[in-house]
A and B are shown apart, each in its own frame.
Chain A
């Protein structure tokens, strides 16, 4: 049923969308037409398709269609929620690789202190910080303006801001505030960021890559004690999928949305749940420090623009094989016992 429902609206857009002026209105939605493919092959600038056209023109792209440029390092990277945890580790790794990074978070003090620390370490012209609450549409818009102002364009946008309200309780005991915070940060914030990111990047000569960070529950498996968090993370993966389909439908081929899976990272978010025996067991076996995870993820992320790849990917730190082999070595040899938290 879902497939039927999902495939139906495709045509809806074709009909209802504002028709691009230079091409017949259907052209954008029938990518198989040979004459159009010919256009693309000759390297002519891509015509803004259907829905995206109006946005593009109003989005400050000027008159003509955008030029295409290959992406080359150093990359301009924007990471949301990057003053602590995995976001901070990622920012440091990108800076070490020589990229320019925009950091942001909800708290002004944290942004200030982290930005000044990083500036001391990596130089004034590589890191910028601003306050941004991803749940507020105007904050996200301001973030885009800030990034455009400082760096002109963004190559890699990482939607890292996430919350589980640092509570691990059955749903019935969860407070209103916690529920609303989790959902608005993880789902609403992500959607607003994705929207602004696509809007910004699709008009850039270099295009862009958006990475959404998944979490427990993304695969659809149950997450008791943090049901709301799991549901939002499941919706992250689904949003990525839908956006990929949407972009493909509209022939936007310079913006790609990816998923990024850091696995279990020993941040506040995870460690606040280390209360049951089972949780401690798995944290000791599977979790890694943010630095280790970032060490793995950043080269993999940077590889995508370097290889000029425009295919959606799902970068995973903790693959199934890795997880099972660790569980095996723990049970067989007692490895990693009490690594982060005392189990007994």
Chain B
């Protein structure tokens, strides 16, 4: 699973982050981050707020730039030039806390915009792909509605489908259920579990410990901008190594 030398054996890791340091102005927010995610692996990143979880995954598709270190997606290095940024972004899908659907476009139009504009996919073909993924997230009947007409959970499932329409190799989730009503969390998590079952490489920042236990291959715990502990879910929840992890788990698992 953690075959770090995979580059030599012919296939690259899905994500390789090495010696990543990042500053906002003079304030350092990420400290020497090393993380490799293999194809098909599901990694959950958790930790207290302000620990740099979101910033880390936002660096992976260059929504944030980084000052030091190496980020590679499918063997493509993320440089500071726009070409490498676009190359990496087309391989990486992202789902946001606040869905960020395009409000002026219908659900179907949301899903076909990037494929038709970026990949130059013919409209008919893009629509067929979009309907395929809308069916996957169990929402095809909403295709001609506008985002505002959907519930939060539905909007988030559309956001997942919209990302999948670009056929990404890796999916990043930035607290995908944090803005949802408790009742809607399940439908989004179910969608994510199904996606995991199909072998999608996933990196999820989430506080859903049940989800972490169920689908993660590894759990990464971050605190104060650094990775404190990386462990299998079982070991992470039953026998956390780090003091800070123990304190965090005591807080979040209490109820």
Q: Do A and B make up one complex? A: no
